[in-house]
Amino acid sequence: MKRRKIQAGEKIAVRMTARDRTLLLDHAFSDPEYAERLRPAPSGRGLVGDYSLDDLEDILGYIAAEANHTKDKKLRRELDALYDRLSQIQQDYDDGNWNDSAI
């Protein structure tokens, strides 16, 4: 898979839905600063936030922790789906710190 090269620390625009935001705020974020970055998308559909690959790594960790500890099956499915989507976005980029052996 060919990843787009970006600079270390460079932020990428990540689209989310209102439900994604609710999941992150109510169940996964330990750092509300990440949620504060979400704003209405220019298209008027959904939300967008600017995150570095390190930010995404943190967010993915919060999501995984909550998904692994919840007893609510529906919530777990939603968190797992969000994790998969954000993980794919993260894997689409390379900031020079990517470890190919980790995938």
Q: Is residue 101 predicted with pLDDT exceeding 50?
A: no
Question: For residue range 28-52, what is the model confidence (pLDDT) as tens digits?
Answer: 876 788 888 899 998 888 999 999 9
Q: Which residue has the higher pLDDT, 29 or 95?
A: 95
Question: For residue range 63-87, what is the model confidence (pLDDT) as tens digits?
Answer: 999 999 999 999 999 999 999 999 9
Q: Is residue 2 predicted with pLDDT exceeding 60?
A: yes
89: CB partners within 8 A, 6+ apart: 12, 14, 56
Query: Between 73-91 and 53-69, two packed helices, what is the crossing angle to 10 degrees?
Result: 160
pLDDT band at 91, cuts 50/70/90? very high
95 token code pair: 């900031």
